[in-house]
């Protein structure tokens, strides 16, 4: 019986290896996973709305989006205050 391959973006990889590298931005990524549209793989909202929900500044969120994009977790398609990110699993 062939064993399934485990993606590095699955739960064990996220919590064991990636947390050391990504830090608090990883919690934001988990937040995005709870809001992703399963058909498109995207999260569409406003930076300000998310900032209020999780209690951080919109500037910090933008920094986390940039960091997560550089680390290959998502693709940033945001514009004009609207957060549009495509989750890369």
Using one digit for the tens of pLDDT, what is the confidence trace for 30-52? Answer: 899 999 998 999 999 999 999 99
Q: CA-to-CA distance for 85 and 25, rounded, in angstroms?
A: 14
Which pLDDT band holds residue 23 (cuts at 50, 70, 90)?
confident
Structure tokens at 61: 């969120």
Q: CA-to-CA distance for 23 and 2, rounded, in angstroms?
A: 34
Which pLDDT band holds residue 3 (cuts at 50, 70, 90)?
very low
- Terminus-to-terminus CA distance in the chain, angstroms? 25
72 CB-side CA count, 13 A: 7
Using one digit for the tens of pLDDT, what is the confidence trace for 77-86? Answer: 998 889 999 9
Which pLDDT band holds residue 88 (cuts at 50, 70, 90)?
confident
Q: CA-to-CA distance for 36 and 86, rounded, in angstroms?
A: 8
Please report the pLDDT score of residue 81 as a whole number: 83
Angle at 82 between CA 76 and CA 86, to 5 degrees: 30
């Amino acid at each position: 019986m062939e064993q399934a391959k485990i993606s590095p973006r699955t739960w064990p990889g996220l919590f064991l290896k990636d947390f050391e590298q990504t830090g608090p931005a990883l919690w934001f990524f988990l937040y995005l996973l709870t809001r992703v549209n399963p058909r498109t793989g995207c999260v569409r909202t406003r930076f300000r709305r998310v900032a209020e929900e999780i209690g951080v500044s919109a500037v910090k969120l933008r920094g986390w989006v940039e960091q997560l994009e550089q680390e290959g977790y998502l693709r940033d398609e945001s514009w004009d205050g609207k957060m549009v990110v495509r989750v890369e699993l």
